[in-house]
């Protein structure tokens, strides 16, 4: 944050000793230490809150992208299923129609069964 070297700290300590005096300097130094600690904790809390918000935003973006990919996959699978279902229905209808034609070709004409029975009796 601040770039203070050892010599600058010594100058500040000497000025504080002269201005504040030797009797009150320890109490002021202790108070300044407590305030600096509070400031560091406050800055750390703010940084942690910002990091949590950034991570939360990243997670929300990731969730949205996964949901959109899942919905895209679902729609493509549904389209393929509908296409396959219609093809199977068409094939089944064609097969049933072909089976009906074969039954008509193979089945004897009406009254033929009676003629066959008469031939067998004779």
* Residue 1 scores a pLDDT above 60: no
- Predicted TM-score (pTM) of the model is 0.48
What pLDDT score was predicted for residue 90? Answer: 87
Mean pLDDT of 72-92: 92
- Whether 75 has a pLDDT exceeding 60, the answer reads yes
Instruction: Report the alpha-carbon distance of residue 103 to residue 79 in Å, rounded.
Output: 36
Q: Is the pLDDT of residue 103 over 80?
A: no
Percent of the chain with pLDDT over 70: 79
Taking a C-beta distance cutoff of 8 angstroms, is the pair 65, 57 a contact? Answer: no
Residue 51 has pLDDT above 60, yes or no: yes
Domain ranges, ordered by start, for the chain: 6-99
In this predicted structure, the answer to whether residue 106 has a pLDDT above a threshold of 60 is: no
Rounded-to-10 torsion of CA 108, 112, 116, 121: 160
Instruction: Determine the Cα–Cα distance for residues 33 and 46; give it in Å rounded to an integer.
Output: 20
């Amino acid at each position: 944050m601040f770039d203070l070297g050892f010599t600058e700290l010594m100058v500040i300590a000497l000025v504080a000793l002269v201005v504040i005096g030797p009797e009150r300097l320890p109490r002021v130094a202790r108070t300044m230490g407590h305030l600096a600690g509070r400031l560091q904790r406050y800055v750390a809390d703010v940084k942690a809150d910002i990091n949590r918000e950034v991570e939360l935003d990243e997670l929300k973006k990731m969730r949205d992208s996964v949901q959109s990919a899942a919905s895209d996959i679902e729609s493509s699978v549904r389209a393929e299923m509908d296409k396959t279902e219609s093809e199977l229905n068409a094939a089944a209808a064609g097969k049933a129609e072909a089976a009906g034609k074969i039954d008509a070709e193979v089945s004897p004409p009406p009254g033929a069964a009676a003629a066959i029975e008469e031939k067998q009796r004779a």
